[in-house]
Amino acid sequence: MNLPETLARIQPLDAAAMAAARARQDMLTKPHGSLGRLEELSVKVAGMTGQPLPRTDRKAVVTMAADHGIAMEEQVSAYPSEVTPQMVYNFLNSGAAINVLARQLGARVTVVDMGVAVELDAPATLLNKKVAFGTQNMAKGPAMSRDQAIRAIEAGIAVVEGLVGEGLDLVATGDMGIGNTTASSAIVAAITGAPVAAVTGRGTGIDDNLLANKVALIQRALEINRPDPADALDVLAKVGGFEIAGLVGVILGSAAHRVPVVVDGFISGAAALVAGEMCPQARDYLIAAHSSVEIGHRVILERMELAPLLNLDLRLGEGTGAALAMHLVEAAVRILKEMATFAEAGVSESKEQDACSAS
Amino acid sequence: MNLPETLARIQPLDAAAMAAARARQDMLTKPHGSLGRLEELSVKVAGMTGQPLPRTDRKAVVTMAADHGIAMEEQVSAYPSEVTPQMVYNFLNSGAAINVLARQLGARVTVVDMGVAVELDAPATLLNKKVAFGTQNMAKGPAMSRDQAIRAIEAGIAVVEGLVGEGLDLVATGDMGIGNTTASSAIVAAITGAPVAAVTGRGTGIDDNLLANKVALIQRALEINRPDPADALDVLAKVGGFEIAGLVGVILGSAAHRVPVVVDGFISGAAALVAGEMCPQARDYLIAAHSSVEIGHRVILERMELAPLLNLDLRLGEGTGAALAMHLVEAAVRILKEMATFAEAGVSESKEQDACSAS
């Protein structure tokens, strides 16, 4: 589907499936509410999927890679841009953190070249959706054209539709791109109006001087490009990145196909922010995996009213936090599906339920 | 081993294994520290096991059940004591939350009768370590004798040694026993000196009247029994429970055999508190799974300087929070073992490492 068709297809959560899931939670052999956030999470997944007893066995992590003109021309990262393709090869050779975590989880990893700055000598397992050889330097002009942003989003939609065709119950978002915390901070500042310094962190680990440089460059990018906060696509095009745009497509496509999206950290969060501005209904399909060390992430989570499942001081990206959180999402759904009810197990219910017990 | 032999065998963390694990973490293809708490956790597990690359595939949850005289004679719980054996049968029939979560994790569940108040008509899969048919009512006198407490601890040691004999890389603690938050609150108040009301919560879900009654009964139990805060075994015997004592044995036995222990919530935490008072060195083998809704749990975690991995508003027990957290422990270790190094993957290291970059 193209972008307008995808946006038009995103529906509200399924109230009947949620009611059925909630009713079943209350019959399971445990005190009501004793599994805390897992209970609401299972009800939410039922609403997303439209299934009172959702499947969770077909899981995928989509890790999208691209380069950033600002990182190729300026000093914003602790790592050179050549690390982006090196890490793509590492993903394809199963040596990266996301490969290890996806293997543990039983999830496949789909690696997508959305705009790496070099031609990749890659096997068929790499999805080639390259829009360009990296974005332009946003400190000098728009990172990409509006048309490129739409093409990148539609590439992300196509990726998720390919996975849906193979069978997909849960999807995790992941990113790789030297310089992409810079683009994400710019997106968050542009959309929320938060001061750049309040949403800009150290990324892979820059020092105070480089951080000051990064903040100044983002401010310059916002001044030069004047992205329109009311037009998320304009923000994405002017100060975003190809992998971020691809993830916007993954999120919108997943929502359109009623697939719950486990959103990783700051970069995925920036994509979720854009997707949510383009289609507020899409927010209902998001599960925030964790709270990142990157300071701008909190602003995203608050704006979107998402409560992260984990807080482990992660700041790696790739989808690692989302893969970790997927264990909890799967646990929540398995509890809903697989536990015995009070009646099945012959377990007595709470004495509270007697009308006279509170007298 | 008996209790004194077990205590004598508990060693400090293995510094060489930790140094090797830390060195390897710094060579893996990710920015230093970017996997946050998972990195320190992997180093800790290396220190516990004495292995720079620990195994994690052989996992077990030990769920210990017992009844409490105070719950059989007084009103402290939302559920009747008959639920304890009913839930043991539910565990044995794989219908409970812990069964579902252990299945997802690939862990076996060892169910132990430490002192259920009825004779259980149970298959061979139930370990019978019954010390008595429930404790005595601690609001009237000691819950158990000192000798019974030692027997229960040694039963827990024997359970874990049986698992070690089959192969055990990680163990989770779990509990079932109507009334056992009452015993746990009493233990925490006795050992830490915290006011009873500050460490007593609603357990499975009691109302304000029952909560006030529960607090008053715990205060009476402490006044009548006068447990010696400097003698954790005395506290355990006078105001504890058989499943809690059994879990003390599981913890001490695991520490003696260098098996990391993932400690569930409040009841397991009370057992960990007792174990840590009996042998401070044993604390090094503990991983706090989650932060429970039960207010006394925070006091335990602070006292033991343990930072929980999860905060999901859980209050079920059975080992459910520990099973969930085990995914994270396993993830931490798999990252350490399975990721490629910078050299293996041909990935460039951080520019920060140039001597002149911070000038």
Residue A305, Ramachandran bin (φ over 0: left; ψ between -120 and 50: alpha; else beta): left
pLDDT value at residue A356:
39
Q: How far apart are CA A61 and CA A123, in angstroms?
A: 18
CB contact (8 A) between residue A101 and residue B37: no
pLDDT at res. A194: 98
pLDDT tens digit at each of 359 positions of chain A: 999 999 999 999 999 999 999 999 999 999 999 999 999 999 999 999 999 999 999 999 999 999 999 999 999 999 999 999 999 999 999 999 999 999 999 999 999 999 999 999 878 899 999 999 999 999 999 999 999 999 999 999 999 999 999 999 999 999 999 999 999 999 999 999 999 999 999 998 999 999 999 999 999 999 999 999 999 999 999 999 999 999 999 999 999 999 999 999 999 999 999 999 999 999 999 999 999 999 999 999 999 999 999 999 999 999 999 999 999 999 999 999 999 999 999 999 886 544 333 33
The 3-state DSSP class for residue A169 equals: coil
Give the model's pLDDT for residue B349.
Answer: 84
- In the block, which residue shows the tokens 């076996």? B108
B-chain residues near A38 (CB < 8 A): 312, 314
Distance, in Å, from the CA atom of A111 to the CA atom of A318, rounded to the nearest integer, reads 10
Q: What chain B residue is nearest to A315 in terms of C-alpha separation?
A: B34
The minimal CB distance from B90 to the residues A312, A331, A345 is found for A345
Q: Which of B79, B100, B327 sits opposite A334 (nearest CB)?
A: B100
What phi, psi does B111 have (nearest 5°)?
-100, 130
Q: Which of A302, A324, A300 is nearest to A313 (CA)?
A: A324
H-type helices in A173-319, by residue range? 180-192, 208-225, 232-239, 242-256, 266-278, 295-304
Give the bridge partners for B261, in sequence order: B171, B286
pTM above 0.80, yes or no: yes
Residues of A in contact with B355 (CB under 8 A): none
Question: At residue A10, what is the residue type?
Answer: I
Using alpha carbons, list the distances in angstroms from residue B154 to A211, B69, B237, B260.
57, 22, 14, 19
Cβ pair B344:A95 closer than 8 A: yes
CA–CA–CA angle A346, A351, A353 (5° rounding): 95
- Residue A338 to residue B96, Cβ atoms within 8 A: no
Taking CA–CA distances from A207, the nearest residue in chain B reads: B358
Among the partner-chain residues B33, B87, B104, the one whose CB lies closest to the CB of A330 is B104
* Residue A209: Cβ within 10 Å count: 12
- Residue of A104, A175, A178, A333 best to disrupt the B interface, most CBs of B under 10 A: A104
Residues in B closer than 8 angstroms to A76, CB to CB, are none
Q: What is the pLDDT of residue B124?
A: 86
The neighbouring-strand residues paired with B62 are B110, B173
Cα–Cα dist B127/A220, whole Å = 68
Alpha-carbon span B329 to B318, nearest angstrom: 19
Choosing from A39, A243, A294, A318, the catalytic residue is: A318
Inter-chain contact B338–A103, Cβ cutoff 8 Å?
Answer: yes
Distance, in Å, from the CA atom of B301 to the CA atom of B313, rounded to the nearest integer, reads 15
> How far is B68 from B137, CA to CA, in rounded Å?
7
* B38 vs A contacts (CB less than 8 Å): 312, 314
Are B79 and A351 within 8 A, CB to CB?
yes
Domain spans of chain B, in order of start: 3-53+336-358, 59-331
Contact B29 A338 (CB under 8 A): no
Structure-token match 């997303």, residue found: A48
Cβ neighbours of B170 in A, within 8 Å? none
User: A177 vs chain B: nearest CA distance in angstroms?
Assistant: 13
Are B148 and B99 a contacting pair, CB within 8 Å? no
Helix H or strand E encompassing B244? helix B242-256
**Residue at token pair 């079943």:** A24
> What is the arrangement of strands in the sheet containing A286-288, beginning at the earlier edge strand?
A126-128, A107-115, A59-66, A170-176, A261-263, A286-288
CB proximity list for B344: less than 8 A, separation 6 or greater: A95
Q: Sheet containing B170-176: which strands, arranged edge to edge?
A: B126-128, B107-115, B59-66, B170-176, B261-263, B286-288
**3-class state of residue B175 by DSSP:** strand
For an interface test with A, the pick among B313, B333, B336 (most A C-beta atoms closer than 10 Å) comes out as B313
C-beta separation of B156 from B131 below 8 A: no
What is the distance between the alpha carbons of residues B322 and A238, in angstroms, rounded to a whole number? 46
Residue A318: active-site member? yes
Element (H, E) at A176: strand A170-176
Q: How many CB atoms lie within 10 A of CB B30?
A: 26
CA distance A16 to B198: 41
- pLDDT for B89: 97
- The answer to whether A315 contacts B34, with C-beta atoms less than 8 Å apart, is yes
Which residue out of A26, A83, A178 would a mutagenesis test of the B interface target, given it has the greatest number of B Cβ atoms within 10 Å?
A83
* Secondary element (H or E) of residue B112: strand B107-115
Q: B38 to chain A: nearest residue by CA?
A: A312
CATH architecture observed for domain B3-53+336-358: Orthogonal Bundle (1.10)
Which chain B positions have a beta carbon within 8 Å of A320's beta carbon? 35
In this structure, are residues B206 and B80 in contact, taking their beta carbons and an 8 Å threshold? Answer: no
| Chosen from B99, B202, B327, B353 to mutate, greatest number of chain A CBs within 10 A | B327
B31 vs A79: CB contact, 8 Å cut-off?
yes
Return the HEC string of A68-87.
CHHHHHCCCCCCCCCHHHHH
| CB pair distance less than 8 Å for A348 and B293 | no
Q: What is the distance between the alpha carbons of residues B145 and B233, in angstroms, rounded to a whole number?
A: 10
Q: Which CATH number fits domain A59-331: 3.40.50.10210, 1.10.357.10, 3.20.20.330, 3.40.1160.10?
A: 3.40.50.10210
Stretches where chain B sits below pLDDT 50 are: 353-359
pLDDT at position A122: 78
How many contacts does A have with B, using Cβ atoms within 8 A?
203
**d(Cα B201, Cα B185) in Å, to the nearest integer?**
8
A126: helix, strand or coil: strand
Residue of B nearest to A331 (CA): B101
For residue B340, the chain A residues in CB contact (below 8 A) are 90, 93, 95-96
Closest Cα in chain A to B353: A78
Residues in A closer than 8 angstroms to B121, CB to CB, are none
- What average pLDDT does chain A have? 96
Rounded distance between C-alpha atoms, residue B101 and residue A31, angstroms? 17
Q: Are B272 and B304 in contact, with CB atoms under 8 Å apart?
A: yes
Q: Residue B268 and residue B265: Cα distance in Å, rounded?
A: 6
Distance CA B222, CA B319 (A): 28
- CB-based burial label for A280 (10 Å; 0-12, 13-18, 19+): exposed
